[in-house]
Amino acid sequence: MTTGYGQEGRFSGPLKPMTFSIFEGQEESQIIFQFKSSPPAVTFKLSGETDGIFHIQDGLLYHSRALDRETRAVHKLQVSALDAYGATVEGPVPITIEVKDINDNRPVFLQSKYEGSVRQNSRPGKPFMYVNATDLDDPATPNGQLIYQIVIQLPKINNVMYFQINNKTGAISLTSEGSQELDPIKNPSYNLVVSVKDMGGQNENSFSDSTSVDITVKENIWKAPEPVEIVENSTNPHPIKITQVRWNEPGAQYSLVEKEKLPRFPFSIDQEGDIYVNQPLDREEKDSYVFYAVAKDELGKPLAFPLQIHVKVNDINDNPPTCPSTVTIFEVQENEKIGSNIGTLVAHDMDEANTINSVLEYRIVDQTPKSPREGLFLVQAYTGVFQLALYSLKKQDTPQYQLTVEVSDKDFKTLCHVQINVIDINDQIPIFEKSDYGNLTLAEDTVVGSIILVIQATDADEPFTGSSKILYRITQGDSEGRLGIDTDPQTNTGYVMIKKPLDFETAAIHNIVFQAENPEPLVPGVEYNASSFATFNLFVTDVNEAPRFSQQVFQAKVSEDVAIGTKVGNVTAKDPEGLDISYSLRGDMRGWLKIDPVTGEIFSVAPLDREAESLYRVQVVATEVGGSSLSSIASFHLTLTDVNDNPPRLVKEYTGLLFCYPLREAGSLIFEATDDDQQSLQGPHFTFSLGSESLQNDWEVSKINGTHARLSTKHTGFEERVYNIPILINDGGQPPLEGTVSLPVTFCTCVKGSCFQPTDHHPGMPTVGMAVGILLTTFLVIGMILAVVFIQMKNKGRDNVENAQASEVKPLRN
């Protein structure tokens, strides 16, 4: 395939099928190609779709007018070679002229004005109308690539665009704001000006056109219906239509989506948007339903947001009352007054509360026994409250009554059973067996939990009831609660025990008063008297006790550079008997501290060092002066805060730093520094420099981070020896400290990455020549020994053979 404009050598050649590409709109009389003839051909003939534009003369193919791609994009021509007589000697050969497009046509909208409509709340991004423009230029080139744009929206409320356009397809849809804000009552119509540009809208020389679009806003009919009410247990044929939804346009596909997963979903929707209940509903199983109606297009994409459907199931009276239990038990004291409330029977009804279907009425239909007479109890009709109706009851006459109660709603009746127990009243007080439990002497160190006394009271009320149960408490003589009393629930025996340690120094004598009482209140007119009280005297004897520290661990904090003799803390202790106390230290392994034996003040007596021990622990001994010299021990913890008193140093001893000699290029070594002082959270920030200015022409130190640096050579002209390089390291502390360290760097001949050093001859060790002579002598002696052994073995074998031959010829003897 060849293209060209007929320059000799480049745009000329023999007759053969060819294709040429030519831009439309170019000047006339442009030469396309020159065909060369071979005898007997002397001229050429042109035929085909010339359209009076293409010609050939003397082998020159040219066009006489500008080409127009929109008129004809491809010209099919034929060229024949003729002889002098006009006879065809070659061809016809097909020649194709492709007319290439230029942007010489502007885009044009198909309509000067468009009209459309949209429903409010339509889904954003879903097209509701299209505008279209055409361009005669080649759509396969940028000349025919059209871009749409909305340039004006009227009205434009709050400068917000409610509409958008697909710049390639011309599809107009709502924006998110438009989907929410369009309201036909506020603004029933909008006008848009839409432009279209060719060249993909990217060229300032592109052509454009515009059109007007009038849009009418229609009311949205995709709305949630009013809540639906359905009577439960309907006997009508199902399914039953209960409500409907409608999309704004026909053709929507409807479906229902559950809000909560149910064992069975009793609703359905048809493709008209009608919603049905498929079976009878039971309010007692579920009293309401919430689900969603969804509208989708033919591709299954949602057309709008789902609508929420509410269904309420209305109650009918289909449940009888139920009793709270098989038997409901009430208790009534034997001296209760007439009209007193005994208890409340609460029956249940599964029908809807606060409706006529669940209103219950109570009635007593039987009393057993009927002694001393019938009608001893009554029940309030609508509350179920039971009352004593006639007179007080006596337990010894009748301890228990059985009542049958009818509970009814407007359609159903149920019988419930009530048992009323007559209980004894608390009209007897507890009485101590004796009023004085005498005296008891105990040492103040008596073990906590020890039972020191047993007390006993009795109660004449009914056993094992709240009226006869006895609780003991101490009303006088034990303000600090050192004693406690536990009661045996079977025998009402009280066990007095020590709850807290006794203290002779606080109270040497306890004049105790016990009271016995019931958990149930006494009946009116009955009160506790002296019979319910008893006394007891407890004498506490002194026991010599060790001093007591105010706390078990004393803590203090000082800087490690405090002066000798500085007070660093103090401890306090007291002796329960009031004796003087002497303080001493134990475990002062470093000899840093001393304590004032009288005041308990602790002082430093030697320089402190946080790096040696940051938390220094010693024991303090408090010993009573006089008496039994008892003592006790507490701990003293001294925290030492850091000061910058340690210069930086190398983290380790660097002994293997070497460069291979001769040095071929500048090299470097990395080393690390550390500091024994306490570091900040950010870590050390050391600075590094050479320790001697005379080394600056040969060596260089550069910082890598706060702890590492690099020692580098500046040239390669070093001798084969060891260089000790001084490095100055500054810690940047307060105050800053510096340390000078030495890095030994060796330049040596290397063998496999290690220094090669020839070994000298040591006295007493053989040289290499001596070692070789010794080895050869050893081999010679071994060879001589082996030769002798071999000769002997050979001679012995020969003798054995001769002996054997002689035996064979020797005659036999008798």
pLDDT per residue over 507-552, tens digit each? Answer: 889 999 999 999 888 888 899 999 999 999 999 988 878 899 999 9
Cis peptide before 239 (omega within 30 of 0): yes
Strand order in the sheet with 687-690: 657-660, 738-748, 722-730, 687-690
pTM over cut 0.95: no
The answer to whether the beta carbons of residues 671 and 588 sit under 8 Å apart is: no
Q: What is the mean pLDDT of the chain?
A: 88
CA-based angle 602:606:607, to the nearest 5?
115
What value does the mean pLDDT take over residues 101-114? Answer: 92
The answer on 655 and 732 residing in a single domain is: yes
Residue 704 phi/psi, 5° resolution? -95, -50
pLDDT for 792 equals: 62
389 or 425, which is more confident: 389
pLDDT for 758 equals: 55
How distant, in Å, are the alpha carbons of 158, 180, 284, 518 from that of 177? Answer: 11, 5, 44, 76
The answer on 677 and 656 residing in a single domain is: yes
Which of 615, 641, 667 terminates a domain? The answer is 641
Please check the confidence at residue 812 and state whether its pLDDT lies above 70. no
- High-pLDDT (> 90) share of the chain, %: 60
What value does the mean pLDDT take over residues 282-289? Answer: 92
Q: What's the CA gap between 80 and 101, in Å, rounded?
A: 29
Work out the pLDDT band at 673, boundaries 50, 70, 90: very high
Whether 562 is covered by a domain: the verdict is yes
Which of 749, 765, 797 terminates a domain? The answer is 749
pLDDT for 10 equals: 56
Please check the confidence at residue 1 and state whether its pLDDT lies above 50. no
Q: What's the CA gap between 773 and 766, in Å, rounded?
A: 10
Task: HSE, CB side, 13 Å, CA atoms: give it for residue 415.
Answer: 5
Please check the confidence at residue 268 and state whether its pLDDT lies above 90. yes
Domain that holds residue 729: 649-749
Q: Is 373 exposed, middle or buried (0-12, 13-18, 19+ CB in 10 A)?
A: exposed
Whether 207 is covered by a domain: the verdict is yes
> Residue 69, Cβ neighbours under 10 Å: how many?
22
Domain total of the chain: 7
The token duo for 505 is 């120094």
Whether 34 is covered by a domain: the verdict is yes
Q: What's the CA gap between 633 and 620, in Å, rounded?
A: 6
Whether 515 is covered by a domain: the verdict is yes
Whether 754 is covered by a domain: the verdict is no
Which of 597, 614, 641 terminates a domain? The answer is 641
Please check the confidence at residue 734 and state whether its pLDDT lies above 90. no
Number of H helices, E strands in the chain: 2, 58
**What sign does the CA torsion over 70, 71, 76, 82 have?**
negative
805: left (phi over 0), alpha (psi -120 to 50) or beta: alpha
The answer to whether the beta carbons of residues 110 and 82 sit under 8 Å apart is: no
The answer on 530 and 562 residing in a single domain is: no
Please check the confidence at residue 84 and state whether its pLDDT lies above 50. yes
The answer on 602 and 531 residing in a single domain is: no
The answer on 207 and 143 residing in a single domain is: yes
695 DSSP assignment: G
Whether 800 is covered by a domain: the verdict is no
CB crowding 431-466: b at 16 or more within 10 Å, else e: bbeeeebeeeebebbeeeeeeebebbbebebbeebe
Q: What's the CA gap between 664 and 452, in Å, rounded?
A: 98
Cross-strand bridge partners of residue 586? 619
Cross-strand bridge partners of residue 658? 746
pLDDT for 790 equals: 60
The answer on 391 and 364 residing in a single domain is: yes
The answer on 393 and 355 residing in a single domain is: yes
The answer on 630 and 596 residing in a single domain is: yes
Whether 797 is covered by a domain: the verdict is no
Give residue for tokens 């003369």: 57
Q: What's the CA gap between 276 and 281, in Å, rounded?
A: 12
Cis peptide before 92 (omega within 30 of 0): yes
Q: Is 782 helix (H, G, I), strand (E, B) or coil?
A: helix
The answer to whether the beta carbons of residues 256 and 293 sit under 8 Å apart is: yes
Strand order in the sheet with 615-624: 553-559, 631-641, 615-624, 581-586
What value does the mean pLDDT take over residues 789-812? Answer: 43
CA-based angle 234:236:241, to the nearest 5?
95
The answer on 213 and 112 residing in a single domain is: yes
The answer on 654 and 617 residing in a single domain is: no
Whether 761 is covered by a domain: the verdict is no
Cross-strand bridge partners of residue 254? 295
CA-based angle 554:556:559, to the nearest 5?
160
The CATH number that applies at residue 496 is 2.60.40.60
pLDDT for 733 equals: 79
The answer on 254 and 189 residing in a single domain is: no
Kind and range of the H or E run holding 673: strand 668-674
Please check the confidence at residue 474 and state whether its pLDDT lies above 60. yes
Q: What's the CA gap between 712 and 714, in Å, rounded?
A: 7
The answer on 681 and 700 residing in a single domain is: yes
Give the model confidence (pLDDT) of 2-42 as tens digits. 344 433 435 888 999 999 999 988 887 788 999 988 888 88
For the stretch 721-725, contacts whose Cβ atoms lie closer than 8 Å and that sit 24 or more positions apart, written own/partner, are 721/746, 721/747, 722/746, 722/747, 723/747, 725/690, 725/691, 725/695, 725/699
Please check the confidence at residue 154 and state whether its pLDDT lies above 90. yes
Cis peptide before 662 (omega within 30 of 0): yes
pLDDT for 2 equals: 35
What value does the mean pLDDT take over residues 589-614? Answer: 94
Q: What's the CA gap between 234 and 232, in Å, rounded?
A: 6
What value does the mean pLDDT take over residues 155-184? Answer: 94
